[in-house]
């Protein structure tokens, strides 16, 4: 029969159910309602057990329905790590060593889409919200990549939502990193090259004031584009891509070593293919030379 009492004299049913993580800590995921006093006693007993076991970080995931337990956890030394629409994550560091619990997500990911036709026309919009509202500034379609969405998927979706234009993702041309953006987070902004698959613009009235196809030379000559550094670089990328003199990064699917899930590595695939081809050719040459040596 399984013993119900641990070395510290606490019964198993008086402890919080927890799963070990990969870094010497535990994860508690509460799902059922609980009296705050009962929760406090169980939390104290569990912390004592985890401390004896040499555990490090403690994560408590509280669904929004159990928000009444937050104060109890905070009084025991837990602090907020992050929050989502349906839950709050609290953390606690047990040992008297440097806290190595990773911080909450530090970056937001955005995209800008250069949609360029064979006639050297660029898809541009004027915003109906945000800082550029009412400024009559023409810019490329931009947006935020959603949770669980790849960069190329976000670029295709944002262009479609803002302008009604269907596109094919080609490559990432460049990216920018800024800090102290929304809610003090950092921002990664990827400039993506897209090929249009349709041309009839159907703008989104909520966010977009106007949208049109504009000749690159006309866009490059706009005073705001020439003055503002970021817009100037977008213009330069448009011009150099129109001449096909710039190679960006394309998504290559790769499989995770841990769980066979698929992600994407953005790289200069043509350059890798050329390197692979050169390596294969060198290997063949070495094999031929080896055979010649053996024959001699």
Q: Which whole-number Å values give the CA distances from 156 to 75, 165, 197, in the listed order?
A: 47, 9, 11
Structure-token match 């055979």, residue found: 291
Contacts of 255 (CB under 8 A, 6+ apart): 261, 262
Tokens of 20: 């070990």
Q: Which whole-number Å values give the CA distances from 256 to 23, 46, 57, 214, 268, in the listed order?
A: 19, 34, 26, 42, 20
- CA-CA distance, 149 to 267, in Å (whole number)? 18
Check if 29 is active-site: no
Structure-token match 């106007």, residue found: 210
- CA-CA distance, 222 to 151, in Å (whole number)? 29
Residue from 76, 161, 209, 218 carrying the catalytic annotation: 161
Query: Which sequence positions are flagged as catalytic?
Result: 161
């Amino acid at each position: 029969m399984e013993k119900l009492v641990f070395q510290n004299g606490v019964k198993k049913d008086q402890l919080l159910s927890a799963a070990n993580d990969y870094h010497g800590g535990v994860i508690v995921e509460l799902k059922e309602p609980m009296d705050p006093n009962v929760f406090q006693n169980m939390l104290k007993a569990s912390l004592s057990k985890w401390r004896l076991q040499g555990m490090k970080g403690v994560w408590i995931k509280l669904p929004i329905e159990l928000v009444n337990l937050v104060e109890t956890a905070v009084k025991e030394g837990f602090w907020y790590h992050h929050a989502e629409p349906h839950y709050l994550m609290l953390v606690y560091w047990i040992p008297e060593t440097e806290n190595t619990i990773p911080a909450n997500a530090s970056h937001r990911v955005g995209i800008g889409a250069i949609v360029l036709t064979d006639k050297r026309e660029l898809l541009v919009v004027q915003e109906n919200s945000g800082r550029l509202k009412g400024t009559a500034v023409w810019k490329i379609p931009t947006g935020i990549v959603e949770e669980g969405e790849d960069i190329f998927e976000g670029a295709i979706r944002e262009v479609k939502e803002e302008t009604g234009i269907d596109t094919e993702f080609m490559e990432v041309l460049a990216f920018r990193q800024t800090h102290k953006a929304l809610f003090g987070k950092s921002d990664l902004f990827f400039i993506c090259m897209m090929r249009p698959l349709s041309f009839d613009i159907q703008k989104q009235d909520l966010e977009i004031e106007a949208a049109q196809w504009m000749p690159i030379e006309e866009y490059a000559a706009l005073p705001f584009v020439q003055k503002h550094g970021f817009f100037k670089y977008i213009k330069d990328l448009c011009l150099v891509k129109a001449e096909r003199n710039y190679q960006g990064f394309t998504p290559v699917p790769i499989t995770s070593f841990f769980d066979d899930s698929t992600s994407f590595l953005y790289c200069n695939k043509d350059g890798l293919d050329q390197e692979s081809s050169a390596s294969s050719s060198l290997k063949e040459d070495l094999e031929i030379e080896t055979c010649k040596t053996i024959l001699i």
